[in-house]
Structure 1
């Protein structure tokens, strides 16, 4: 088992995080409300499932050795649902009201802030429910960020322990987890506001850019040489199939 199990699950969290982006183009307040509620449902599907898989993955790391060097990058993947899950709950936005409709103008994902603005305008729940969703969303996002620090330490320790490991297409697994963790950190700095989170978020963002350039250059080089098109996760399967065929011949 590897953390790749998280990839199909984290798609729900990513979809949930884009819900407020869709809501920003909806001038009808009721339609925007439905979009935000659907996004919360998707978030509720993806995050608990991710946490379940992370428990199983932690048990795998505890009872067995580290993943092979060819897929060691997968140890960074748990940062994905933690960073994206926290970022999707809280994102700063600005809302302008025109008549009875709401035009939400925002930079990206912002479920908590959208709930804060939309719930009172649509009469959803109590008047205080919108700010409550926003405040609880920030609290959960902060907890997820702290939990992400633990997995970041695990991942870095695994990489250091593995020392040299060959470049393959799986190195792109570095970019998304670290990227969403960086955006979550930057957003913490915006919401608090906090100079510490802003500086740390900037450092992480620069590291992601440098990593993206390095992995992109390696991908281009590997594609031109033809050595890149190799799936490490299928290597053992190929060996098993060859052994099976050899057994039939014997």
Structure 2
């Protein structure tokens, strides 16, 4: 009999990946209805995983997972899963459940995800101090949630009156900073490990794609926040920051793709880390779409559509492999 896989926070990466296919699809021409169906599937998946977590996890289980230097990093997945479904409710689910219910769902999931994400941004890096562990792409997972909060919060801010709207936007920029500067600390460590110690186990290679997460999500956040003008220079910041970061993101795509192909030729066994191919790529799609709207660029719109095609292919592949693994 095959032993059941442990139920860890990394399973919520499937919600993140499925959700980004839905939310990115909301900006694609002619895909609003199919994207809404994907969001509904993702919402059901989130409910299922939360119910399973409440049934299986105890405080001792959580402490054991946080003590594991690898599994601890994936505690960033649950808050991002919550906020991804919430954003989908506002962008897509409103057509089925109505705007009041969509707003209520998004505010609830955004609040829970933001609080949990801030906790992971502090507790998990704190746990790594003095551990002697080598950095890998998964180290970014605990610090990306505040950037997701910034992007998702920009959409919620549009529904607030003037005073609270300004406070919300300022808070989102602060969350933007939390994730951005933490990313700037961690990415050089990942690069140093690659240079000095090589790639490591094949199962960790997909986590290189996680670097795209804060990059693409920050482009998305910067340009979505520009759509809620309460401060001078927001649009200029979104375009300039977004364009510069977009260029580096494409460089990282080329590096990660080359490493992935080279590893796959030697053997790349399936693991839940394969979901690292999906959500980070999805953030690049949403970032490219947001930047394209800011500068009215048909070229960027075309690139966003092409990237979305790659995203759907990656999601379908990983979803099928995950289903087979847990069947």
Match of 1:76 among 191, 199, 209: 209
RMSD of the alignment, in Å?
A: 1.2
- Distance in 2 (CA, whole Å) between partners of 1:176 and 1:167 is 17
| 2:219 corresponds to 1:86 | yes
1:147 maps to 248
2:291 maps to 188
Q: Are the counterparts in 2 of residues 74 and 173 from structure 1 also a CA contact under 8 Å? A: yes
Q: Which deviations, in whole Å up to 9, do the C-alpha atoms of 1:58-112 show, x marking residues without a partner? A: 111111111311121001010000000111000xxxxxxxxxxxxxxxxxxx212
1:18 maps to 152
- Distance in 2 (CA, whole Å) between partners of 1:146 and 1:203 is 16
Q: Are the counterparts in 1 of residues 239 and 295 from structure 2 also a CA contact under 8 Å? A: no
Q: Are the counterparts in 1 of residues 281 and 311 from structure 2 also a CA contact under 8 Å? A: yes
Query: Gaps spanning 5+ residues in structure 2: where?
Result: 1-134
2:181 maps to 48
Q: Any runs of at least 4 consecutive aligned residues in structure 1 with deviations exceeding 6 A, and if so which? A: none
| 2:303 corresponds to 1:213 | no
Q: Which deviations, in whole Å up to 9, do the C-alpha atoms of 1:182-232 show, x marking residues without a partner? A: 1111222222222221111101101101111111111111111xxxxxxxx
Q: Are the counterparts in 1 of residues 219 and 288 from structure 2 also a CA contact under 8 Å? A: no
Determine helix, strand or coil for the equivalent of 2:278.
helix
Match of 1:8 among 142, 152, 157: 142
1:135 maps to 236
- Distance in 2 (CA, whole Å) between partners of 1:47 and 1:172 is 22
**So what's the TM-score if we normalise by structure 1?**
0.74
**So what's the TM-score if we normalise by structure 2?**
0.57
Q: How far did 1:141 drift? A: 1.0
- Distance in 1 (CA, whole Å) between partners of 2:313 and 2:203 is 21
Determine helix, strand or coil for the equivalent of 2:270.
coil
- Distance in 1 (CA, whole Å) between partners of 2:200 and 2:251 is 18
- Distance in 2 (CA, whole Å) between partners of 1:144 and 1:179 is 15
Q: Are the counterparts in 2 of residues 2 and 67 from structure 1 also a CA contact under 8 Å? A: no
Query: Gaps spanning 5+ residues in structure 1: where?
Result: 91-109, 120-128, 225-250
- Distance in 2 (CA, whole Å) between partners of 1:113 and 1:25 is 12
- Distance in 1 (CA, whole Å) between partners of 2:156 and 2:237 is 22
- Distance in 2 (CA, whole Å) between partners of 1:63 and 1:112 is 40
Q: How far did 1:150 drift? A: 1.5
Bigger Rg, which one: 1
- Distance in 2 (CA, whole Å) between partners of 1:67 and 1:143 is 30
- Distance in 2 (CA, whole Å) between partners of 1:220 and 1:79 is 25
| 2:279 corresponds to 1:165 | no
- Distance in 1 (CA, whole Å) between partners of 2:136 and 2:170 is 32
161-170 vs 3-12, greater mean Cα deviation: 161-170
2:95 maps to none
